[in-house]
Amino acid sequence: MAVAIEVSEESPQAVACDALVVGAHSTTEGGFDLVAPGPAVDEATEGHLRGYLTSAGFKAKLGEVVILPSFGHLVAQAIAVTGLGPAGTAGASEVRRAAGAAARHLSGRAVVASTLHSAVEGNGAAAAAEGYLLGSYRFTAYKSRAGDHKLERVLFLGSGAEAIERGVAYASATALARDLINEPGSALTPELLAERAVELAAGANLDCTIWDVAEMSERGFGGILGVGRGSANPPRFIQVHYKPPSAAVKLAIIGKGVTFDTGGLSLKDARNMEEMKTDMSGAAAVLGAMSVVDQLGLAAEVMAFIPATENMPGPTAIKPGDVIAHYGGTTSEVLNTDAEGRLILADALAFASQQKPAAMVDLATLTGSIMLALGRKCSGLFATDDALAQELIAAGEAAGERYWRMPLFDDYNKELESETADIKNIGTRYGGSIFAALFLKKFVPEGVPWAHLDIAGTARNETTTDEVPKGGTGVGTRTLLEWISSRAGA
């Protein structure tokens, strides 16, 4: 059950709730400053709030939460003080993280009242709404018991609380992406992912077209068909289209949709296969973003493309050394069948380019190399256009998602030269994420601004942190929405 975010005109001292959340900034002296209306709440407790925090060693570090009883000084049963970090650095991202941390700590309470949004002017309410919803996210579809999560409502108190709709939309889009990522591979085959896309489109005022094997064969989608050959579950090519009457720009977003990746005949070991249901995180982010574009009223035409397949070592699986012909005619030599994401994205990029978008962005859990380079808290960004790269970095900052631009060195292309085909699908041992991006670039015509987001490290969280629980993160969903919004002039 989704947590309800509501606006209340009640005062912090008088609101009836299980816990009242107030914010605090850390100081250079190692102490804390309560953010308004925190001082008034402290006064209502006759100074007991500040005294307790001091005795508890509270430093107001970002995401730090201390909960204490109100002892009858307030109508609220308890007070939760959440750290926002130093005042000079606190912005929307900090409010989002603090709200997420508060949601986790208060998951056993049904009704929470919050003033965190007042710490930031303008977009504080949207960020706080995102944080509470993202921090309270749970995937319990296969749990016989859902646990002790009781949070039902969060009441936003005070001025500026009205602008929560955008945050709720962004969070619901991310939650949808997380749900898809967390589904077992058996429950989200390419056909079932396509069915989910059709259902989503029907409820979100979108057009949706699904191509099966026959239709892809007719059009020459050799990359998707080649990777899908080893699976009993046939691939699909999913197209979702949003075209409002007032569209000012046409954009394309592409998501890798490998619903389970064994590596094919270049088989992964058991440990590296455990998380491979998440190899469709790019597709999940794209569908999540598309689910709310109409709700947000964005004045941009958005075309979404998802090549969906499994990568399995069946009797007809593609073999190392095989050559496949992609959409548009370019051929590639497959030397490693576990480098399959670029093969299916190649078809999608070539097809999307022909739709003449003003810019296109793909998201993919593409390479382990990007994790070696950037760790698990930053995604790699490759781009043929400087302005597009800066737009996406800015969109990521606004969304609380971190990207680092990586190079597309022209002289590295030599390592992808094939004696048999136009290009081979892997380069040398080092620089794997760059070689993967250069492979994709081969299928993007000159003059089409393109960016590739390698989210292999960030698509799954190993431990719960602030607004991001363990499991599928839905990374990229909010970045896409911020980028589309900026292009649409919203």
Contacts of residue 47, defined as CB under 8 A and 6 or more positions apart, other chains included, come to none
Instruction: Look at residue 209 and give its three-state secondary structure.
Output: strand
The residue annotated as part of the active site, out of 153, 268, 405, 441, is 268
Which CA distances in Å does 50 have to 9, 24, 384? 25, 11, 53
| 259 neighbors 357 (Cβ within 8 angstroms) | no
Residue 376, number of CB atoms within 10 A of its CB: 16
Instruction: Report the distance separating Cα 143 and Cα 270, nearest Å.
Output: 24
CA angle 439, 444, 450 (to 5 degrees): 100
Which CA distances in Å does 154 have to 49, 80, 252? 22, 13, 36
342: annotated active-site residue: yes
The residue annotated as part of the active site, out of 97, 342, 402, 424, is 342
Best CA proximity match to 64, nearest among 470, 466, 348:
466
Contacts of residue 125, defined as CB under 8 A and 6 or more positions apart, other chains included, come to 117, 156, 160, 161, 162, 163, 164, 167
Which CA distances in Å does 193 have to 200, 204, 233, 313, 367? 10, 16, 11, 21, 22
143: annotated active-site residue: no
For 24, phi then psi, to 5°, come to -150, 145
- Active-site residue list: 268, 342
